[in-house]
């Protein structure tokens, strides 16, 4: 009887195990395995060479630098902007409308958004009329037009700005929900206790939003590590804007370096795992 | 020294008037309770005093200072909220200390104050805990400690006991009274529970529909309610009301209700003679209706025939739900009563302590 039960139990979980094995475990293991080989037919074992290449080659070092820039700047700005807009929109009567407008970019496909932003950033030499919105605005204010996409000293920031535009709505909506969860009586208690609005924000609202902010930040960090579409469409990683996911795509499909592409994939996975773990831990606690 | 004065205060939320021409003077060190059913405006009045609601018309004074437009933080008041409203991310110590820290009180001055407030409320062993780790009663104590630590001029409490279980509520009621004596501060306390009002207040202001009905000591409100609302609200179980016509024959003055008759004692006859031939609303408290077999000495009224609907034995007394003709009456009688549900019996309705109200205005007709 008991053995039959155990057998039945295994039978029930078997489909899930098979699916996970085929579509998750095997690809991960195989990717790690492939990352130790090189050549088109993947016949040459090269040990850690692919990894050594990633951390020593100037072009791939730029990739890591760019991802780090995305991680810090994109995450910090989006969280800060989302928080600011959530607090501000909480105080106005047309809150739903304001939030909807800021949330709209989330509904736009990343590719479409990238195309839109490429138009926004169009650069023509100063003697011509500027057709890109950003440079039109710049020249109208008396500045020289800037080649946003091709100038390596600004183009990463230009791309990150597009990413922030896309994700601020998400941060706003989640933080706003957290804000609604703070009881009005607690804020009133702080007011009676002698706090002004700025002190209430720093000493009461912000600490009470802590867990919400962490969830938003972790989600954004994961997305900053995975960022691909915007970069692929706007620059294809040229002009020193490349990021890990785009590099992986290039190594794989442009250069045919399956081993290197696998190594990038493994690095990306290792970077994301701690973030995933922290999210899983949090969900379990809640 | 903190006197509070509401001077012709009105509060409107759009079309809705929450508080209408509210006038109330609260003396220094007084324990004043605002009581009334939900939606009567009592919490609005308290929140206006706290500075959490704007004043539509009129003025509020704390001491001699007009506080209209003065933000809550500058009014030198403290408040205990119904939900306690503790800061969930702070320890008990930090919750209590928050107001002092905002005032930049030096640590060596603040620390003993926080510990003293905590020990007065018996939460000094919980200082390192967070609110989430406390029971309802402990949270309530922390909320009170947080309020008293700043030594405010006026102490506001908004239904602080309504989230406690019945036993703890009775206990905490006494604790708050003791705290008031100890602090010697003006207390303004809002509740919908007339028992809390009766047991703690120096004076009670009974409110209904945004208007003060009556202000006075608990005993005064109980003995001399000015209208049907106050008479029915104060006292538990509630006063009985019935309409009856005042008639006089050779034997004396009688009240003829719907299917029953009661005598008016001679020394109260003058109170009702002015209404001869009129229908008035009469009020009798449940403790003034007696089982015929256990009538206290000195009451000589003739018995009235009634039917017993339900009996509720309480141990020390029995509540009888009676039908006198078509009129429902509730009586609190001696526990030895032999009356049972369904019985047709006789009770003595002692009109010595009756209340008389005008059926139109519902105001007391006793001068």
User: Over its length of 367 residues, how does chain B's per-residue pLDDT go in tens digits?
Assistant: 589 999 999 999 999 999 999 999 999 999 999 999 998 999 999 999 999 999 999 999 999 899 999 999 999 999 999 999 999 999 999 999 999 999 999 999 999 999 999 998 999 999 999 999 999 999 999 999 999 999 999 999 999 998 888 888 898 899 899 999 998 899 999 999 999 999 999 999 999 999 999 999 999 999 999 999 999 999 989 999 999 999 988 778 889 888 888 888 888 888 888 899 899 999 999 999 999 989 888 887 788 889 999 999 999 999 999 999 889 999 999 999 988 999 899 999 988 889 999 999 999 988 6
- Residue B89 Cα, gap to closest chain A Cα (Å): 6
Give the per-residue pLDDT at A128: 85
* Nearest of B196, B223, B195, B194 to residue B206 by alpha carbon: B194
**Does A37 fall in a domain?**
no
Cα A114 to Cα A60: distance, rounded to the nearest angstrom:
23
Pick from A185, A203, A207: CB nearest B81 = A185
Selected for mutation to probe chain A from B48, B50, B67, B79 (highest A CB count within 10 Å) is B79
**Does A26 fall in a domain?**
no
Cα A266 to Cα A248: distance, rounded to the nearest angstrom:
10
* Number of compact structural domains in chain A: 1
* Nearest of A112, A98, A103, A96 to residue A233 by alpha carbon: A112
Residues of chain A predicted below pLDDT 70: 1, 286
Token pair 């929450």 is found at B18
**Does A28 fall in a domain?**
no
Q: Tell me the CATH number at A182.
A: 1.10.3720.10
Cα B147 to Cα A179: distance, rounded to the nearest angstrom:
25
Cα B22 to Cα B24: distance, rounded to the nearest angstrom:
7
Q: Which residues of chain B does A189 touch, with a Cβ-Cβ cutoff of 8 Å?
A: 79, 81, 85-87, 146
Neighbour-count burial of A181, counting CB atoms closer than 10 A to its CB (0-12 exposed, 13-18 middle, 19+ buried):
exposed
**Does A23 fall in a domain?**
no
Q: Which of residues 169-198 of A touch B (CB under 8 A)?
A: 183, 185-186, 188-196
Question: A262 and A244 in contact (C-beta within 8 Å)?
Answer: no
- Residue A137 Cα, gap to closest chain B Cα (Å): 44
Q: Which residues of chain B does A207 touch, with a Cβ-Cβ cutoff of 8 Å?
A: 87, 89-90
**Does A5 fall in a domain?**
no
Report CB contact under 8 Å: A183, B71.
Answer: no
Pick from A190, A191, A208: CB nearest B88 = A208
**Does A110 fall in a domain?**
yes
Cα B78 to Cα B61: distance, rounded to the nearest angstrom:
16
CA distances from A4 to A11, B101, B137 (A): 10, 67, 53
The DSSP secondary-structure symbol of B296 reads P
Which three-class secondary structure state does DSSP give residue B20? Answer: strand
Cα B307 to Cα B328: distance, rounded to the nearest angstrom:
10
**Does A96 fall in a domain?**
yes
Per residue in A26-69, pLDDT (tens digit) is 999 999 999 999 877 788 889 899 999 999 999 999 999 999 99
Per residue in A5-19, pLDDT (tens digit) is 899 999 999 999 999
Domain extent at residue A235: 44-285
Q: Which residues of chain B does A204 touch, with a Cβ-Cβ cutoff of 8 Å?
A: 87
Give the per-residue pLDDT at B1: 58
Q: Which residues of chain B does A210 touch, with a Cβ-Cβ cutoff of 8 Å?
A: 89
Report CB contact under 8 Å: A192, B52.
Answer: yes
CB under 8 Å to A52, separation ≥6 — which residues?
none
**Does A187 fall in a domain?**
yes
Q: Which residues of chain B does A203 touch, with a Cβ-Cβ cutoff of 8 Å?
A: 98
């Amino acid at each position: 009887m008991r053995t039959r039960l155990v057998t039945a139990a295994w039978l029930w979980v078997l489909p899930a195990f098979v699916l996970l094995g085929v579509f998750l475990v095997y690809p991960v293991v195989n990717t790690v395995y492939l990352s130790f080989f090189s050549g088109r037919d993947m016949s040459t074992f090269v040990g850690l060479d692919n990894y050594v290449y990633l951390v020593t080659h100037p072009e791939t070092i730029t990739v890591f630098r760019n991802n780090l820039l995305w991680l810090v700047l994109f995450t910090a700005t989006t969280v800060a902007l989302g928080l600011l807009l959530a607090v501000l929109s909480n105080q106005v009567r047309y809150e739903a409308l304001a939030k909807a407008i800021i949330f709209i970019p989330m509904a736009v496909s990343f590719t479409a958004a990238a195309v839109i932003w490429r138009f926004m950033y169009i650069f023509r030499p100063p003697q011509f009329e500027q057709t890109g919105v950003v440079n039109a605005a710049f020249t109208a204010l008396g500045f020289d037009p800037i080649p946003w996409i091709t100038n390596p000293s600004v183009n990463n920031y230009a791309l990150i700005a597009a990413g922030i535009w896309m994700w601020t709505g998400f941060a706003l909506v989640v933080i706003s929900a957290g804000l609604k969860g703070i009881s009005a009586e607690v804020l009133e208690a702080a007011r009676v206790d002698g706090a002004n609005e700025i002190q209430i924000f720093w000493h009461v609202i912000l600490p009470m939003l802590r867990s919400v902010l962490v969830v938003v930040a972790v989600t954004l960090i994961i997305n900053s590590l995975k960022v691909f579409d915007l970069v692929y469409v706007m620059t294809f990683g040229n002009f020193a804007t490349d990021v890990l996911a785009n590099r992986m795509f290039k190594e794989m499909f442009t250069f045919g370096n399956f081993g290197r592409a696998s190594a990038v994939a493994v690095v990306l996975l290792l970077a994301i795992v701690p973030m995933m773990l922290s999210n899983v831990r949090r969900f379990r606690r809640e | 020294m903190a006197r509070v004065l509401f001077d012709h205060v009105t509060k409107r939320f759009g079309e809705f008037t929450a508080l209408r021409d509210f006038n109330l003077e609260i003396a220094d060190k007084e324990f004043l309770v605002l009581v009334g059913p939900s939606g009567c405006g009592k919490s609005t009045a308290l929140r206006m005093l706290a500075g959490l609601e704007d004043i539509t018309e009129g003025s509020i004074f704390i001491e001699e200072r007009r506080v209209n437009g003065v933000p809550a933080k500058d009014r030198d008041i403290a408040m205990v909220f119904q939900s306690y409203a503790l800061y969930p991310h702070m320890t008990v110590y930090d919750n209590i200390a928050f107001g002092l820290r905002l005032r930049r009180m030096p640590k060596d001055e603040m620390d003993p104050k926080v510990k003293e407030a905590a020990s007065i409320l018996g939460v000094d062993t919980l200082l390192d805990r967070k609110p989430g780790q406390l029971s309802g009663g402990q949270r309530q104590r922390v909320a009170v400690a947080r309020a008293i630590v700043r030594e405010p001029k006026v102490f506001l409490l908004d239904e602080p006991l309504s989230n406690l279980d019945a036993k703890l509520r009775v206990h905490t009621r006494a604790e708050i009274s003791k705290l008031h004596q100890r602090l010697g501060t003006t207390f303004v306390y809002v509740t919908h529970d007339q028992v809390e009002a009766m047991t703690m207040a120096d004076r009670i202001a009974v409110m209904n529909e945004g208007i003060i009905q009556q202000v006075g000591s608990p005993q005064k409100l109980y003995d001399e309610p000015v209208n049907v609302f106050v008479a029915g609200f104060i006292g538990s179980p509630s006063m009985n009301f019935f309409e009856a016509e005042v008639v006089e024959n050779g034997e004396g003055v009688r009240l003829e209700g719907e299917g029953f008759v009661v005598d008016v004692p001679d020394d109260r006859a003058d109170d009702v003679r002015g209404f001869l031939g009129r229908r008035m609303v009469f009020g009798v408290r449940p403790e003034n209706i007696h089982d015929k077999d256990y009538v206290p000495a000195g009451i000589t009224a003739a018995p009235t025939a009634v039917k017993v609907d339900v009996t509720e034995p309480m141990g020390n007394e029995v509540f009888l739900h009676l039908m006198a003709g078509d009129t429902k009456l509730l009586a609190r009688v001696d526990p030895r009563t032999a009356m049972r549900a369904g019985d047709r019996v006789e009770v003595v309705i002692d009109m010595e302590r009756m209340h008389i109200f005008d059926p139109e205005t519902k105001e007391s007709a006793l001068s």
